[in-house]
């Protein structure tokens, strides 16, 4: 019979057992570790992508002012010289570097089949990376199409189950 006294006695006994003894490692421990590593890398990639996008918009706006009718192929060398001298070039290189880091971790995650919601959440974050441009993820969801919202809501649901 479950009585208040039994519950309190069980709780007191459980408190005496060290956490290391009671905590069993998750069968998805490696996947969870990779998921945490990926989450950090993905956040850094999204930031680098935003910096690059802003720098590229700036150089493109300057170029549009210089050639309002379009530069055509005749000014490509001049454009790339200006681009490479602008903040867009190093921002692009950093974006690519961060993208490569995410790709490498995502490949490891994809190779492991999850057995827990926490493991599945690692895959959900990789699905965000694979399926959505960082610029879409930065938008308010009301600006997205219904299928995009549905997929992101589902991925958020997986994250919630894993928490």
Instruction: Give domain limits for the chain.
Output: 28-162
Whether 29 shows a pLDDT value over 50: the answer reads: yes
**How would residue 47 be classed by pLDDT, with cut points 50, 70 and 90?**
very high
Q: Which is nearest to 119 in space by CA: 28, 23, 14?
A: 28
| CA separation for the pair 128, 109 (Å, rounded) | 13
**pLDDT tens for each residue of 50-87:** 999 999 999 989 888 887 776 666 778 888 898 999 99
**Buried b / exposed e across 128-139, counting CB within 10 Å, b at 16+?**
bbeebebeebee
pLDDT tens digit string along 92-104? 999 999 999 999 9
Query: What pLDDT, on a 0 to 100 scale, did the predictor assign at position 128?
Result: 93
């Amino acid at each position: 019979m479950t009585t208040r006294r039994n519950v309190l006695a069980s709780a007191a006994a459980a408190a005496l057992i060290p956490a290391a003894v009671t905590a069993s490692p998750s069968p998805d421990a490696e996947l969870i570790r990779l998921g945490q590593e990926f989450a950090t890398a993905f956040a850094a990639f999204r930031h680098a992508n935003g910096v690059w996008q802003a720098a590229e918009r700036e150089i493109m706006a300057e170029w549009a002012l210089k050639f309002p009718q379009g530069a055509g192929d005749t000014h490509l060398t001049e454009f790339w010289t200006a681009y490479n001298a602008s903040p867009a070039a190093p921002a692009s290189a950093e974006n690519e570097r961060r993208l490569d880091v995410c790709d490498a971790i995502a490949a490891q995650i994809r190779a492991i089949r999850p057995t827990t919601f926490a493991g599945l959440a690692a895959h959900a974050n990789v699905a965000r990376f694979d399926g959505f441009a960082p610029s879409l993820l930065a938008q308010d969801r009301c600006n997205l199409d219904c299928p995009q919202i549905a997929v992101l809501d589902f991925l958020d649901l997986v994250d919630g189950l894993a928490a």
